[in-house]
Amino acid sequence: MNRVLKWSLGLLTVAGAAHVVYHGYQNFADEVRENLTLAIRAYFSDEEILALWVFEDPIQDACFEAGVVVSTDNSETDAHSESQLPIERPKKSISFLIDAQSLEIIEKSEEWI
């Protein structure tokens, strides 16, 4: 009986430790992802962000691939714009790398869509 009690207590301790480590890592990953998202939104704050993505796994060390789709501002309006159909504003897809430690953004490519 003593041996069964020791084994069950050991398994319970290991399960508890695994639970703490797993949730600690998840909280850390969520915090990093949130910091990256806030840095990207601040960098592209002068444009309307339609979509934003950050890949889960870093390419090297703490350098993540990411991208945004932004809508460029066309402020050319006509006096009779109410009677015309709305014109769709051009969109741009921008791919870049972001360093999770320094939050530095290095743009890789830009494409009109």
Band (pLDDT 50/70/90 cuts) for residue 83 is low
Which residue is it, tokens 């797993």?
Answer: 22
Band (pLDDT 50/70/90 cuts) for residue 69 is very high
**Closest CA relative to residue 96, chosen from 80, 107, 112:** 107
DSSP track, the chain:
-HHHHHHHHHHHHHHHHHHHHHHHHHHHHHHHHHHHHHHHHHHTTTSEEEEEEE-SS-SBTTEEEEEEEEE-------TTTTTSPPPPPPEEEEEEEEETTT--EEEEEEEE-
**More reliable by pLDDT, 78 or 17:** 17
Instruction: Reply yes or no on whether the pLDDT at 87 is more than 80.
Output: no
Report pTM.
Answer: 0.75
Instruction: Reply yes or no on whether the pLDDT at 92 is more than 50.
Output: yes
